[in-house]
Amino acid sequence: MEYKLIRSKRKTLSMQMTEGGLVVRAPFSASEKSISDFLKKHERWIKKREEELERRLAEAEKYPPLTDEDIIELAEAARSYIPQRVARYADMAGVKYGRITIRNQRTRWGSCSSKGNLNFNCLLMLTPPEVIDSVVVHEVCHLKHMDHSARFYRDVRRLYPEYDKWNGWLKKNGKVILMRAERRET
C-alpha cells in the first residue's frame, strides 16, 4: 500500500485520504511495524475512502475546470448575495459581526475569527441557496459559540431547521466543486 508518511512530535498515528493519496501522520518514535499494523487494522476504512475519492474524481471530470474569469464572477456574485444572508441570520440570532470577506478557498466553506469577522468561499455560489444559508448560519452561530458544542448546534438548528439536510448535501457534493477550482485553467 502506497502512502505519504509525515513524522512529527505528535503522540498518535492518524491518516487521511487526499486527492494525492493516503497521508499517514506518525510520531517520530513510531516503528515501521506499528505503522504497518495500523494500516492493516484500518484497511476497510482506507478502501472505502479510496473508492469515494475515485467517485469524486470521476464526478469532477464531468464538469469543466473553472477559469480565473469564473472565479472572479463567482466572487462578485458572492459579495452581493452572502452579506444579505449574513445580515438576515445575524439579526435573527441577535449577534453583531465585523467584516465579511469572500475568497476562493481550497478546503473551507466558511470561517469566523475571534474578532467576529466572517469569511466565505466564493465557490458557495455553485451550490443551492439552501447550502449557502446552512454555511452562513453555521458561521453566524460561531459569533456566539466559538466551538462545536451541543449549544452551538442547538442554535444552528433553531435558526435553520434544515441545516442537517443541506450540510449533508455539502459534505456529499462539496469536494467535487472544490476539485473543479483546483483544476482551474488560467
pLDDT tens, residue by residue, 75-129 = 999 999 999 999 999 999 999 999 999 999 888 999 999 999 999 999 999 999 9
Quote the CA–CA distance of 28 and 9 in Å, as a whole number: 6
pLDDT at position 16 is 92
What is the percentage of the chain residues whose pLDDT exceeds 70?
A: 98
Q: Name the DSSP letter for residue 64.
A: P
pLDDT at position 186 is 47
Instruction: Give the chain's residues under pLDDT 70.
Output: 183-186
Helix (H, G, I), strand (E, B) or coil at 159: helix
Biggest distance spanned by C-alpha atoms of the chain = 55
Rounded to 10 degrees, the C-alpha dihedral 117/123/129/131 comes to -80
The pTM score is 0.76
- Residue 175 in contact with residue 56, Cβ under 8 Å? yes
Structural domain boundaries of the chain?
4-61, 68-182
pLDDT at position 184 is 59
What's the CATH superfamily of 68-182? Metalloproteases ("zincins"), catalytic domain (3.30.2010.10)
How many helices (H) and strands (E) the chain has is answered by 6, 6
